[in-house]
């Protein structure tokens, strides 16, 4: 599901599901988390995550993955592993990053975005609910106004917009991303670890407040969520009823 490549102090993790546009399953999330958890500094000083083929990550595998009982646990474990990794983790986004693919990019410390890279989180279109961390992190990384456009209006953030709001730390192609990651891997490991630890100490986690959790559970178990799933399979627009 993933390919790991080592070059000096840089570890590259490649999502290797090109026929499925690198969509995430429980297994993919677990493999990424295992690879990140195995990182030992100063042997590895930076991690670069990229997708094979035309997409960075098309999100959760909607043909079953996102509806599985253990998918969200595996997804959150992967995101936590990136956040808690002792070295900077860089996303090389040369194609679409949708849904959980955007969550993956949000978890990374830095992002390089190419001309074909873009971000979108469409839970409102699919009848999904999101955890507290994803919403707060989106506000932190994208800014409040853009985050609202993404989450409430299902707007796409293209490469230029990502650069304009600072979500893209560098505009460039895959070679630029590799050179950027190699440069960061050459910096002082202890300094990077301390800086990352403070930057990711944002004061919020994945847990929702009780009333928010009720709405989250209601959303996932709703007829609307089932309707969105059926509509996607039947290639039609969903008809939501708010129940």
- Taking only the tens of pLDDT, the chain with its 243 residues reads 999 999 999 999 999 999 999 999 999 999 999 999 999 989 999 999 999 999 999 999 877 556 666 999 999 999 999 999 999 999 999 999 999 999 999 999 999 999 999 999 999 998 989 999 999 999 999 999 999 999 999 999 999 999 999 999 999 999 999 999 999 999 999 999 999 999 999 999 999 999 999 999 999 999 999 999 899 889 999 999 999
Query: What pTM was estimated for this model as a whole?
Result: 0.96
SS3 54: coil
pLDDT at 103: 98
The dihedral of CA 172, 166, 73, 156: what is its sign?
A: negative
The closest alpha carbon to 105, from 116, 118, 124, belongs to 118
Position 69 scores a pLDDT of 67
Confidence at residue 63, expressed as pLDDT on a 0 to 100 scale: 74
User: Does residue 188 come out as left (phi exceeding 0), alpha (psi in the -120 to 50 range) or beta?
Assistant: beta
d(CA 159, CA 95) in angstroms, rounded, equals 10
pLDDT of residue 65: 58
Residues 86, 238: Cα–Cα separation, whole Å: 43
Q: What is the pLDDT of residue 87?
A: 98
């Amino acid at each position: 599901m993933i390919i790991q490549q080592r070059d000096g102090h840089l570890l590259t993790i490649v999502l290797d599901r090109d026929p499925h546009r690198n969509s995430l399953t429980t297994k993919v999330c677990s493999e990424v988390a295992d690879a990140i958890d195995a990182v030992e500094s100063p042997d590895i000083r930076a991690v670069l995550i990229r997708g094979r083929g035309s997409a960075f990550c098309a999100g959760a595998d909607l043909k079953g993955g996102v509806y599985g009982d253990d998918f969200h646990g595996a997804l959150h474990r992967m995101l936590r592993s990136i956040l808690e990794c002792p070295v900077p983790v860089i996303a090389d986004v040369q194609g679409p990053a949708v849904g959980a693919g955007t969550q993956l990019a949000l978890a990374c410390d830095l992002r390089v975005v190419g001309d074909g890279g873009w971000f979108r989180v469409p839970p409102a279109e699919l009848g999904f609910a999101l955890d507290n961390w994803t919403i707060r992190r989106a506000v932190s990384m994208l800014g409040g106004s853009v985050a609202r456009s993404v989450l409430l209006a299902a707007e796409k953030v293209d490469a230029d917009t990502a650069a304009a709001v600072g979500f893209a730390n560098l505009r460039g192609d895959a070679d630029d991303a590799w050179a950027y990651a190699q440069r960061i891997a050459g910096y002082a490991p202890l300094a990077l670890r301390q800086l990352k630890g403070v930057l990711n100490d944002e004061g919020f986690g994945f847990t929702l407040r009780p009333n928010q959790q009720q709405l989250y559970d209601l959303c996932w178990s709703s007829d609307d969520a089932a309707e969105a799933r059926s509509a996607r399979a039947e290639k039609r627009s969903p008809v939501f009823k708010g129940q």
